[in-house]
Chains A and B, each alone.
Chain A
Amino acid sequence: MELVYLLIPLACLGAAVAVGFLGSVVGRVAAHTIAIAGVAISFLLSIIVAVDVSQGHHFNGAIYTWGQSGGVVFTVGFLIDELTAVMMVVVTFVSLMVHVYTIGYMAKDPGYTRFFSYIGLFTFAMLMLVMANNFLQLFFGWEAVGLVSYLLIGFWYERESAIFANLKAFLVNRVGDLGFLLGIAGVLFLFGSLDYATVFEAAPQKETATLVSPMGYEWQWITLICLLLFVGAMGKSAQVPLHVWLPDSMEGPTPISALIHAATMVTAGIFMVARMSPLFELSETARSVVLMIGALTALLMALVGLVQTDIKRVVAYSTLSQLGYMTVALGASAYSIAIFHLTTHAFFKALLFLGAGAVIIALHHEQDMRKMGGLRRALPITYGTCIVGSLALSGIPPFSGFFSKDAIIEAVAHATIPGAGLTYVAVLIGVFVTALYSFRLIFMVFHGQRAENLDEAHGVNEPGWVVTFPLIALAIPSVVAGAILVEPVLSGRLFATAITEPVIATGSHTTAGTMLLHGFSGLPFWLAVAGVISAWVLYCLKPRWPSKIASTFSPVYRILQRKYGFDELYQCVFMRGSRYLGEHLWRTGDVKLIDGIMVNGTANLVGRLAEIIRHLQSGYIYHYAFAMIIGLVVAMSWHLWV
């Protein structure tokens, strides 16, 4: 089995390297065949591993030791359990779908083979991340997906906006990564090991270990570590206030938005916190912070989603909001529910992104929703699958999103840590807003009047099977994944060994049937339905109302349009601040201190000293002789009397 584990990431890596170096030689068809074959192998093997794990075969061991320093061993190792298996299947499945879809979406792009190489590399990095059995490999995967994300956001490197976006993503992620790295350092300091199993086993004994800060406050070590690790998760999973990179990352090609910025990479933070559940369970403070950050993200980002006009950005903000939901679940100690939502979200969000991509291809790379409308006849398959995706996103039963989201809300309702009450309100409002913006998108794009400025002559046709097949293939799990997974997850059976969590308090509704019955009578369901109906009223029945509402509440509208001014704030504080700091460091530090005082100053000092000392250098031999003799006398007197 070890060979299989090793083969899963290496198949992707091999394909990526082969396509990357030989892509221009072997041509497009061969390139995408190799890439798809690589990821398909990974997917099939992941299924085999998942089946094997479900029969109780776990694995935790090192494959290769790549360093040893001061008693700490750095290894490449795999930890295969239910959590890993679920993530592997999700990652490889979505990646496979995106690979297929890319053939259609990128057909005319000159960087075709480069793109396949990048997404192969990404799949490899993500698999290394989820399969890691130690913090160092986790960090390797973490940074590698960040790197590939940078490359892919800036894929169209001729566009200035793409370069800005990838730089922004990279910088914001650096902030998170710093926290993450400090967290790992904390783990190494406290436990003396980077191995998951060792750390988790030792964690309960270290619960009372404290750190006294210079100001005299006592910190629980575990809390500090958890908060630092969560800072990393905030960067990668785009939580407020480190979320700003994700909407801009929509500059990348749509398949990437689906693969990286919706389904997989951004969930790395969620996965990481779930993996660290034994640590987070020991710190209520950390969980409380996680909960509130998640609630803020879930609500605020959903509201921004309401006013976006770029089709991809709407989906991007919904991603942010849904990541907020997952974080809320983590904060409420419902780690397995977070993973459950992660899984269902991966399917329906990839579906929505690919659907948006299909619309964009059909309209010849037009992304503005105000120029769209009435496309449901021209794009029936896209329309149908997008409806499925939106229903799942809004949490309408029996689609998959309903089960996971309802479970999160239930978990929050039963949570008792500080902040749970407000969070409950936030997530409930979030349900309404989610349904509203999801169906706003549907109604603006597929219903209403056909936008007149769309060029009729070009014809708007459904793209080929390489685009529609992934849509359908993703639509199926978007419908059924929730119903299938809900029972094993909620009963606590599925992740019993992988995740440490208290018994999830969701009442007696642990099966799909009881969940459904309960769901129709619950508040979230009616809020979602209200959201759908509001969207229908606003964007189908009374298309003038939205602009009226916008002008009535123009301050609020403007705040939303400006995304709460996070970008402006960062621009002002961090960008200007660092430029100001850099300018001053350059002027005082570099020019004055280093150049002026240290470099030129040394030369000047030597020059001036030499100007004085050269008078001693008369060149007359007797002066030197006198100096020697006087020195001799002084030395003799010194020895004699001192």
Chain B
Amino acid sequence: MNFLQFSFYLFSVILIVAASLVVTVRNPVKAVLYLVLVFFSAACIWLTLEAEFLAIVLVLVYVGAVMVLFLFVVMMLDIDVARLREGFTQYLPAGLVIAGVMVAELAVVMLSGRFGLDALPRPVARGVDYSNTRELGLVLYTDYVYAFEMAALILLVAIIAAISLTFRRRGGTKVQVIAEQLRVTKADRLRIVKMSSEITDGEKSQ
């Protein structure tokens, strides 16, 4: 067993354990943290597949942004965990049966030899000068350029949607109303009072 195999199986075990903890732990905050672990080990597994760019993106975007967002939300909301876990194991047998059937079926297909080393041998590892990022960029900006633009648009829409959904105006916030500032005239700010000149007592005495 070489280092590659060792790391693959190590991270696989971590991934499976972490994933099962994600769906079973009581505390949602812990669940999010286990999810971070799942993503991290997934990124490591992807490294064994020479998908360096995606592995980094997974860590940066998912762990760095999405998971932090999850953490924020979970901590922000006052969640009554006890109620949410009522009947937690009620559907477990059904879920286990379904999942078991599915894993069995997948295993039947995947271990049938069609995906074994004889049918699909593992490609020879690339050299040091190979850049996964460059390869991906070459495809992304040529063949998939329209899809890429579309993905950007989807992200923009998601930003707008998330903000407009959660944004609410509170009373008492101070804001600048530029239109009103521009509409201001001299009469609004300055009051000229006409009055006769008077001589105060002090001046009189002088």
- Give the B-binding residues of A (Cβ under 8 A): 626, 629-630, 632-633, 636-637, 640
Q: How far is the CA of A632 from the CA of B109 in the complex (A)?
A: 16
A-B contact pairs, 15 of them (CB 8 A): A626-B91, A629-B98, A630-B98, A632-B102, A633-B98, A633-B101, A633-B102, A633-B105, A636-B102, A636-B105, A637-B101, A637-B105, A640-B105, A640-B108, A640-B109
The residues of B that contact A629 with a CB separation of less than 8 Å are 98
A contact patch SS: helix
Q: How far is the CA of A629 from the CA of B102 in the complex (A)?
A: 10
The residues of A that contact B101 with a CB separation of less than 8 Å are 633, 637
One digit per residue, 1 when the CB lies within 8 angstroms of any chain A CB and 0 when it does not, for chain B 85-125 equals 00000010000001001100100110000000000000000
Q: Which residue of B lies closest to A634 (CB)?
A: B101
Known: A636-B105, A637-B101, A640-B109. 5 other contacts (CB 8 A): A629-B98, A633-B98, A633-B101, A637-B105, A640-B105
Q: Which residue of B lies closest to A622 (CB)?
A: B91
Q: How far is the CA of A630 from the CA of B101 in the complex (A)?
A: 10
State how many angstroms separate the Cβ of A372 from the closest Cβ of chain B: 100
The residues of B that contact A630 with a CB separation of less than 8 Å are 98
The residues of B that contact A636 with a CB separation of less than 8 Å are 102, 105
The residues of B that contact A633 with a CB separation of less than 8 Å are 98, 101-102, 105
Quick one: which of B61-91 are within 8 Å of A by CB?
91
The residues of A that contact B102 with a CB separation of less than 8 Å are 632-633, 636
The residues of B that contact A640 with a CB separation of less than 8 Å are 105, 108-109
Which 8 pairs between the two chains have the least Cβ-Cβ distance?
A636-B105, A640-B105, A633-B102, A633-B101, A633-B98, A629-B98, A637-B105, A630-B98
Q: How far is the CA of A171 from the CA of B108 in the complex (A)?
A: 79
Q: How far is the CA of A334 from the CA of B71 in the complex (A)?
A: 110
State how many angstroms separate the Cβ of B97 from the closest Cβ of chain A: 9
B contact patch SS: helix
The residues of B that contact A637 with a CB separation of less than 8 Å are 101, 105
Q: How many residues of B contact A (CB 8 A)?
A: 7
State how many angstroms separate the Cβ of B108 from the closest Cβ of chain A: 7
State how many angstroms separate the Cβ of B196 from the closest Cβ of chain A: 80
The residues of A that contact B109 with a CB separation of less than 8 Å are 640
Question: Among B91, B105, B108, B109, which residue has the most Cβ atoms of chain A within 10 A?
Answer: B105
State how many angstroms separate the Cβ of A158 from the closest Cβ of chain B: 76
Q: How far is the CA of A636 from the CA of B105 in the complex (A)?
A: 8
Q: Which residue of B lies closest to A630 (CB)?
A: B98
The residues of A that contact B105 with a CB separation of less than 8 Å are 633, 636-637, 640
Q: Which residue of A lies closest to B101 (CB)?
A: A633
Q: How far is the CA of A636 from the CA of B101 in the complex (A)?
A: 10
State how many angstroms separate the Cβ of B93 from the closest Cβ of chain A: 13
Q: Which residue of B lies closest to A629 (CB)?
A: B98
Q: How far is the CA of A494 from the CA of B113 in the complex (A)?
A: 102
The residues of A that contact B108 with a CB separation of less than 8 Å are 640
Q: How far is the CA of A600 from the CA of B73 in the complex (A)?
A: 52
State how many angstroms separate the Cβ of A26 from the closest Cβ of chain B: 76
Q: Which residue of A lies closest to B102 (CB)?
A: A633
Q: How far is the CA of A559 from the CA of B98 in the complex (A)?
A: 91
State how many angstroms separate the Cβ of B64 from the closest Cβ of chain A: 28
Q: How far is the CA of A630 from the CA of B102 in the complex (A)?
A: 10
Q: How far is the CA of A302 from the CA of B140 in the complex (A)?
A: 102
Q: Which residue of A lies closest to B109 (CB)?
A: A640
Q: How far is the CA of A629 from the CA of B105 in the complex (A)?
A: 14
State how many angstroms separate the Cβ of A628 from the closest Cβ of chain B: 11
Q: Which residue of B lies closest to A637 (CB)?
A: B105
One digit per residue, 1 when the CB lies within 8 angstroms of any chain A CB and 0 when it does not, for chain B 187-200 equals 00000000000000
State how many angstroms separate the Cβ of A100 from the closest Cβ of chain B: 88
Q: How far is the CA of A521 from the CA of B108 in the complex (A)?
A: 116
Q: Which residue of A lies closest to B106 (CB)?
A: A636
Q: How far is the CA of A640 from the CA of B105 in the complex (A)?
A: 8
Q: How far is the CA of A464 from the CA of B41 in the complex (A)?
A: 123
Q: How far is the CA of A633 from the CA of B99 in the complex (A)?
A: 9
State how many angstroms separate the Cβ of B22 from the closest Cβ of chain A: 17
The residues of A that contact B98 with a CB separation of less than 8 Å are 629-630, 633
Q: How far is the CA of A626 from the CA of B97 in the complex (A)?
A: 13
State how many angstroms separate the Cβ of A640 from the closest Cβ of chain B: 6
Q: How far is the CA of A633 from the CA of B100 in the complex (A)?
A: 10
Q: How far is the CA of A626 from the CA of B109 in the complex (A)?
A: 24
State how many angstroms separate the Cβ of A618 from the closest Cβ of chain B: 14
Q: How far is the CA of A626 from the CA of B102 in the complex (A)?
A: 14
Q: How far is the CA of A633 from the CA of B103 in the complex (A)?
A: 10
Q: How far is the CA of A637 from the CA of B91 in the complex (A)?
A: 21
Q: How far is the CA of A220 from the CA of B102 in the complex (A)?
A: 74
Q: Which residue of A lies closest to B97 (CB)?
A: A633
Q: How far is the CA of A630 from the CA of B91 in the complex (A)?
A: 13
State how many angstroms separate the Cβ of A626 from the closest Cβ of chain B: 8
Q: How far is the CA of A573 from the CA of B91 in the complex (A)?
A: 74
State how many angstroms separate the Cβ of B117 from the closest Cβ of chain A: 23
The residues of A that contact B91 with a CB separation of less than 8 Å are 626
Q: How far is the CA of A632 from the CA of B105 in the complex (A)?
A: 12
Q: How far is the CA of A629 from the CA of B96 in the complex (A)?
A: 12
Q: How far is the CA of A629 from the CA of B108 in the complex (A)?
A: 19
Q: How far is the CA of A300 from the CA of B91 in the complex (A)?
A: 94
Q: How far is the CA of A637 from the CA of B109 in the complex (A)?
A: 11
State how many angstroms separate the Cβ of A29 from the closest Cβ of chain B: 84
Quick one: which of B141-186 are within 8 Å of A by CB?
none
Q: Which residue of B lies closest to A640 (CB)?
A: B105
Q: How far is the CA of A633 from the CA of B98 in the complex (A)?
A: 7
State how many angstroms separate the Cβ of A380 from the closest Cβ of chain B: 106
Q: How far is the CA of A630 from the CA of B109 in the complex (A)?
A: 19
Q: Which residue of A lies closest to B91 (CB)?
A: A626
Q: How far is the CA of A637 from the CA of B97 in the complex (A)?
A: 14
State how many angstroms separate the Cβ of B188 from the closest Cβ of chain A: 55
Q: How far is the CA of A640 from the CA of B109 in the complex (A)?
A: 8
The residues of B that contact A626 with a CB separation of less than 8 Å are 91
Q: Which residue of B lies closest to A632 (CB)?
A: B102
State how many angstroms separate the Cβ of B107 from the closest Cβ of chain A: 11
State how many angstroms separate the Cβ of A83 from the closest Cβ of chain B: 80
Q: How far is the CA of A637 from the CA of B101 in the complex (A)?
A: 9
State how many angstroms separate the Cβ of A632 from the closest Cβ of chain B: 8
Q: How far is the CA of A563 from the CA of B105 in the complex (A)?
A: 91
Q: How far is the CA of A260 from the CA of B98 in the complex (A)?
A: 89
State how many angstroms separate the Cβ of B129 from the closest Cβ of chain A: 43
Q: How far is the CA of A626 from the CA of B90 in the complex (A)?
A: 14
Q: Which residue of A lies closest to B94 (CB)?
A: A626
Q: Which residue of B lies closest to A641 (CB)?
A: B105
Q: How far is the CA of A636 from the CA of B102 in the complex (A)?
A: 8
Q: How far is the CA of A90 from the CA of B105 in the complex (A)?
A: 96
Q: How far is the CA of A274 from the CA of B91 in the complex (A)?
A: 92
State how many angstroms separate the Cβ of A578 from the closest Cβ of chain B: 66
Q: How far is the CA of A250 from the CA of B91 in the complex (A)?
A: 91
Q: Which residue of B lies closest to A636 (CB)?
A: B105
Q: How far is the CA of A633 from the CA of B95 in the complex (A)?
A: 12
